[in-house]
Amino acid sequence: MRTTIMRAGAVLGAAAATLLAAATPASAHEKWFVPDPDGYPGDWSFALRPVTFALIVAVVLVTVAWRYATLRFLPTPELPQLGFVGRLVPYVPRLLAIHLGVSLLAAAVSGHFLTHDLEVEHLAGGSAILLLEGALGVWFITGIRLRPAAVLLAVAGPLALLVTGPVGLLSAMDLLGVAVFLAFVPPSDATFGRVEPDAVTLRKALLALRLGAGGALITLAFAEKLANPALARETVEMFPQLDVFALVGIHLPADTFVAIAGATELLFGLLVISGALPQVAVLVAGIPFNATLLLFGGTELLGHLPVYGVFLTLLAYGSNRQTAELVRWLPPVRWVLRRPAPAA
């Protein structure tokens, strides 16, 4: 009986999350498609409006409840039917490196650094940055001895992005998270890059990956919606198809729609960081990320390749009985706050 209730709860939770995900195009990256995106100043007062702030608080509470229910009541993996995906685990670092490499190479060719809203050709040394980015992209695609490449990207990326400002750095955290993961768990020289890291190393790598991907989603939720409603309004005006509420006859005020979209993207970011129910979280988040491909095409696909790689990684490790527990690992508070003991 208890097992039945728990399964039903998991199914209901997944259904509710699916409806929320389908309702808002949280993955649309406004700065890639709006002319002169820097011309829309931020407005943090929007995030403090009663409706917006209530949605933000609700999203945080949902995330806490989501993780608590996972640790207390639900099995791991939560969807054992996807166990076949877990067989990809030894080859995931190789596949993730290909996702990252193709994205870097495409960005370098188009004159952007890491993400498609950061043009660096006009900067001093911009050509050298693009050359380095393209070379790293090819290196990641080859899969040969990738730890130095991963470390180089993890170090050079933040240094270069600081030139464009902290928002640019934080919005590219997904790529940097992938780089840190591959620094911990690079593909081996075995067939297809097969690798089986120890549990301690793997859980640290997965934590870095989740922090990177989740941090990027949270940054974009505020930088392009919750703290920049003007940019979000312009995006919806240019692409009215994004307002799926209107498509089904529900006409919401523009600001309400922007608040819901931003809260949904914030929810995705927090759920990724929590690591709870990774299979359900990835499958639900994949709905809007794939739906917007029909509208934005190749630019959206290439720009989100690292995110797709992160989703594949979390789904594969979350579907394997030996690694599923590691996906949701978070360092305990006492571990975070611990200070080194003074020398004797």
- Asked whether the CA dihedral 39, 45, 47, 50 is positive or negative, the reply is negative
Name the token pair of 274: 């929590």
d(CA 183, CA 239): 39
* Residues whose CB falls within 8 Å of the CB of residue 287, separated by 6 or more in sequence, listed in order: 18, 21, 22
Q: Is 343 part of any domain?
A: no
What's the pLDDT tens digit per position in 148-177? 999 999 888 787 677 667 777 788 888 899
Q: Minimum mean pLDDT among 52-56, 99-103, 283-287, 332-336: which range?
A: 332-336
Tokens 């166990």 sit at which residue? 83
Q: Is 3 part of any domain?
A: no
Q: Is 5 part of any domain?
A: no
Inform me whether the pLDDT recorded for 33 exceeds 60.
Answer: no
The whole domain housing 205 covers 10-326
Residue 243 near residue 236 (C-beta atoms within 8 A): yes
Inform me whether the pLDDT recorded for 274 exceeds 60.
Answer: yes
What's the pLDDT tens digit per position in 67-83? 998 888 888 898 999 99
Q: Is 1 part of any domain?
A: no
What's the pLDDT tens digit per position in 182-202? 999 999 988 889 999 999 999
Q: Is 337 part of any domain?
A: no
Return the ∠ at Cα 282 (arms to 276 and 287), rounded to 5°: 140
What would the mean pLDDT of 282-292 be, rounded to a whole number?
A: 79
Residue 278 near residue 10 (C-beta atoms within 8 A): no
Q: Model-level pTM? A: 0.83
The count of residues in the chain is 344
Number of structural domains found in the chain:
1
* Residues whose CB falls within 8 Å of the CB of residue 340, separated by 6 or more in sequence, listed in order: none
- Asked whether the CA dihedral 33, 35, 37, 43 is positive or negative, the reply is negative
CA-wise closest residue to 213 among 174, 182, 180, 181: 174
Q: Is 113 part of any domain?
A: yes
Q: Is 55 part of any domain?
A: yes
Q: Is 139 part of any domain?
A: yes
Q: What is the dihedral of CA 45, 46, 50, 51, to 10 degrees?
A: -170
What would the mean pLDDT of 45-52 be, rounded to a whole number?
A: 94
pLDDT of amino acid 121: 67
